[in-house]
């Protein structure tokens, strides 16, 4: 076999040092019938120039949000990212040191955390925010674990309109923790309060509600909060940060713990994540909040400075007293979110949210062919579900890709009840021309299904 060393003598010296006669002797523990017994069939090495050209050719085979009209959603969205976000996040002092452990040597990062947490509290109307988690799914289960610990109850009520990936994460975490997950249906696109009321009792730790939900529909969070609190349960809301430019924030709705996927706050789609787990809560639950909380104070010279006020990670305290043993800072994405929020400001966020609503409604109205239905006749934010009466969703999405359009998410891949449906997201980046082209391609597709006949 070929060696990676300069000379045979060097090979012999290394083998002698470890006490074997040949390289083959290193693999004696592996049965001969499992060994390849030949050299690897791989092409020869490339120069830097050749490798760069080769990688560009491979990358060109991908259809991505930067080269296509993107209507993908379900938790990852093609929002506009101001150039200042990349400019600041790419600075070496942030880019290479975004997870500090010693507060005395990382004042800049601590200030970035503090500013991020402050903006999240202002955005959500909650009392305290941590310095972020892996993504929206992990933030959701962390909120559930907070509620279970705070109430000492073992039942969680979750709607079918919650992101299915979040529900899978929750089921994985809770399977061995003796916590019951009860799912409340959302056949009409949102949770019926009467049905929710029947499932909440004295054993319920929390109700989890996504608003706007996975299908883009609005939920009655205030009504759910009243039902939960009446039975001593906590209310967890999964929210879309952009939607808070128009909708009441979790604090105004009476929510106890608010979580979100923060990707829409200045981070590109990046192959689906992980991104940024946003988490905020009422002050009384602060000591159960996983992760870190950066605080502002003054030093001995009366100068403004920052410290890690609360450190509940296992790296900082005794493991059994840690609130979570898996949380991470995700500081670089939190920094991007802070720069994004500071750049767009309240008015900018309101305008972005308004554009999402207007363009989503325009896209809905363009689907005039008989074969398409809007699955849920409800107001939506940024997303809606389309049902194809011909039952050809994979073919439709393939047709759109051939026209340089990422047309939506096939819901039937993971949910049999939505076999003929796909989820469409329309952000502020989509132009009228792109929406018109999307609708024209859909409505011009042939229908060969017996369903239509």
Residuewise pLDDT in 10s, the chain (453 residues): 454 545 788 888 888 999 888 888 888 889 989 988 888 899 889 999 999 999 999 999 988 898 899 999 999 999 999 999 999 999 988 888 766 566 555 888 889 999 999 999 999 999 999 987 889 999 999 999 999 999 999 999 999 999 999 999 999 999 999 999 999 987 789 999 999 999 999 999 999 999 999 999 999 999 999 999 999 999 999 999 999 999 999 999 999 999 999 999 999 998 888 899 999 999 999 989 987 888 999 999 999 999 888 876 656 666 777 777 665 668 899 999 999 999 999 999 999 999 999 999 999 999 988 999 999 999 999 999 999 999 999 999 999 999 999 999 999 987 888 999 999 999 999 999 999 999 999 999 888 654 443
Looking at residue 88, its pLDDT comes to 95
Residue 199 CB burial class (10 angstroms; 0-12, 13-18, ≥19): middle
C-alpha–C-alpha distance, residues 345 and 338, integer Å: 10
Domain ranges in the chain with CATH number 3.90.1150.10: 69-78+346-443
Residues 6 or more apart whose Cβ sits within 8 Å of residue 432: 362
Give SS3 for 2. Answer: coil
Helix axes 164-174 and 136-151, enclosed angle (nearest 10): 50
Q: What angle do CA 99, 101, 107 make, to 5 degrees?
A: 80
Reported pTM: 0.88
What element of type H or E holds 348?
A: helix 331-366
Looking at residue 3, its pLDDT comes to 46
Looking at residue 178, its pLDDT comes to 93
Taking the alpha carbons at both ends of the chain, their separation in whole angstroms is 64
8 Å CB contact between 194 and 161: no
Give SS3 for 206. Answer: strand
Looking at residue 26, its pLDDT comes to 85
Looking at residue 356, its pLDDT comes to 98
8 Å CB contact between 205 and 234: yes
Residues 6 or more apart whose Cβ sits within 8 Å of residue 172: none
What is the third-level CATH fold of 69-78+346-443? 3.90.1150
Place of tokens 């610990």: 149
Domain ranges in the chain with CATH number 3.40.640.10: 83-342
Task: Find out if CATH 3.40.640.10 is the number for domain 83-342.
Answer: yes
> What are the backbone angles phi and psi of residue 234, rounded to the nearest 5°?
-95, 160
């Amino acid at each position: 076999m070929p060696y990676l060393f300069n000379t045979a003598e060097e090979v012999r010296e290394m083998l002698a040092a470890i006490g074997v006669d040949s390289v083959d002797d290193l693999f004696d523990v592996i049965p001969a019938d499992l060994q390849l017994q030949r050299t690897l069939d791989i092409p020869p090495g490339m120069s830097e120039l050749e490798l760069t050209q080769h990688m560009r050719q491979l990358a060109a085979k991908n259809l991505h949000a930067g080269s296509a009209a993107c209507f993908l959603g379900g938790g990852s969205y093609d929002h506009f990212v101001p150039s200042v976000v990349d400019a600041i996040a790419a600075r070496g002092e942030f880019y290479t040191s975004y997870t500090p452990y010693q507060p005395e040597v990382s004042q800049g990062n601590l200030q970035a955390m503090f500013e991020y947490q402050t903006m999240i509290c202002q955005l959500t109307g909650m009392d305290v925010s941590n310095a972020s988690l892996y993504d929206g799914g992990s933030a959701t289960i962390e909120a559930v674990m907070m509620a279970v610990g705070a109430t000492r109850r073992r039942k969680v009520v979750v709607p079918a309109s919650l992101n299915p990936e979040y529900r899978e994460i929750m089921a994985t975490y809770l399977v061995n923790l003796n916590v019951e997950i009860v799912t409340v249906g959302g056949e009409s696109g949102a949770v019926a309060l009467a049905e929710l009321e029947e499932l909440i009792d004295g054993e319920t730790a929390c109700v989890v509600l996504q608003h706007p939900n996975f299908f883009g529909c609005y939920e009655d969070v205030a009504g759910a909060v009243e039902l939960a609190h009446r039975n001593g349960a906590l209310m967890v809301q999964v929210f879309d940060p952009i939607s808070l430019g128009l909708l009441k924030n979790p604090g105004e709705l009476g929510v106890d713990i608010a979580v979100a996927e923060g990707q829409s706050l200045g981070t590109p789609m990046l192959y689906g994540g992980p991104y940024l787990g946003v988490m905020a809560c009422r002050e009384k639950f602060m000591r159960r909040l996983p992760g870190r909380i950066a605080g502002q104070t003054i030093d001995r010279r009366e100068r403004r400075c920052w410290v890690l006020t609360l450190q509940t990670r296992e790296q900082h305290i005794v493991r059994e007293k840690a609130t979570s043993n898996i949380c991470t800072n995700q500081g670089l994405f939190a920094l991007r979110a802070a720069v994004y929020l500071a750049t767009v400001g309240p008015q900018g966020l309101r305008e972005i949210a308004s554009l999402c609503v207007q363009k989503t409604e325009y896209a809905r109205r363009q689907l005039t062919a008989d074969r398409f239905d809007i699955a849920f006749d409800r107001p939506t934010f940024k997303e809606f579900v389309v049902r194809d009466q011909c039952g050809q969703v994979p073919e439709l999405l393939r047709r759109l890709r051939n026209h340089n359009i990422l047309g939506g998410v096939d819901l039937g891949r993971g949910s049999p009840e939505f076999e003929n449906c796909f989820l469409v997201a329309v952000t502020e980046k989509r132009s009228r021309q792109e929406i018109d082209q999307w609708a024209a391609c859909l409505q011009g597709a042939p229908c060969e299904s017996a369903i239509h006949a």
